[in-house]
Amino acid sequence: MKSITGNRWQHAQQEEFQFWQNYSKNPERIFRWIYNKYLFFNEIKQKSPELVECNGENKRAVEIGIGPFSIGAISFLEPQNKWEIIGIDPLPRVIIKNVPDYLDTLINSLTNRLFNYIQMPAENINNTNYTNYFDLAICDNVLEHTLNPYKIIKNIYDLLKHNGCLILRENILSLLGFFKKEYISRKIDIMHPYHFNYYNLLSILQSNGFKDIGLMSKSKFTIFNKLNKLIWKAKTVSFICHKNAIGFKNQ
């Protein structure tokens, strides 16, 4: 997997910021974004309820690349007074305006809670005071937008307490799709400097300390997408990774 330059990443971030500004003006897309994050949170809750339950203890969660809306899967953690929640993203926050009242109420309920938004690249979080701090980290379709995916996973590992957990969801490509993205359309797909297959992601996790890695879910192609599966189409994989020293398991 080829590394990228800082200039290439800055260009991607400029495109990203424009994307989010346009997104903020479309109530339907905003609602779909929130709903997608809720579905992801609900999947985590169903598969590993112990990760999102407090059982009387105060817990800490961080979402890497939460996005300028400051709404991610961690936004649905309850009860609010038991969770310290931090979102990290390199882009400045984007204020959502001129949406219907029902959507405005929903947005406010998710963003006006005990929440700290830190604007910085995730590659720099090792410079903060959060080492061995978090019980839960979430990274949802973020690595493909970054400057250094390996460093980010290493930093997340350092942020977690012993037995802390990372939930990583990312798009993956077929081998041919990966080749085309990496070597043919690399300069066209500005917002996604990196592209992964299943084994890239597993290697990144293992090489940065995670040994206890489980496969939480893996999306399937529909019949309509069979051809795309071979030549292009991405699907989604979710890993659940604990900070300890057991082996890979396929849940």
Place of tokens 């019949």: 223
Question: How far is 183 from 167, CA to CA, in rounded Å?
Answer: 29
Q: Is 156 a member of any domain? A: yes
Between CA 62 and CA 73 the distance in angstroms is 10
The two three-digit tokens of residue 216, written as one number: 């939480």
Q: Is residue 54, in this structure, part of any structural domain at all?
A: yes
pLDDT tens readout for residues 43-53 = 999 999 999 99
Can you give the length of the chain in residues?
A: 251
Q: What is the pLDDT of residue 182?
A: 65
- Domain membership flag for residue 121: yes
Residue 81 lies in a domain: yes
Residue 238 lies in a domain: yes
Q: Is the residue at 251 inside a domain?
A: no
Mean pLDDT by 10 residues, the chain (251 residues): 84 93 92 95 95 91 95 94 94 89 90 86 88 96 95 96 95 73 66 87 94 86 50 79 65 41
Q: Of 183, 177, 172, 171, which is closest to residue 230 (Cα–Cα)?
A: 177
Structure tokens at 173: 């490509």
- Residue 202 domain boundaries: 6-242
Q: Which of 88, 98, 173, 84 is nearest to 134 (CA)?
A: 84
pLDDT in tens, 131-187: 999 999 999 999 999 999 999 999 999 999 999 999 999 988 776 666 666 666 566
Contact 141, 108 (CB under 8 A): no
- Could you tell me if 70 and 117 are in contact, meaning their C-beta atoms sit under 8 angstroms apart? yes
Does residue 59 belong to any structural domain of this protein? yes
**Residue 196 sits in a domain of what CATH number?**
3.40.50.150
| CB-based contact 235:220 (threshold 8 Å) | yes
Q: Report d(CA 122, CA 222) in Å as an integer.
A: 34
What's the pLDDT score for residue 2?
72
In a domain, 250, yes or no: no
Domain count, the chain: 1
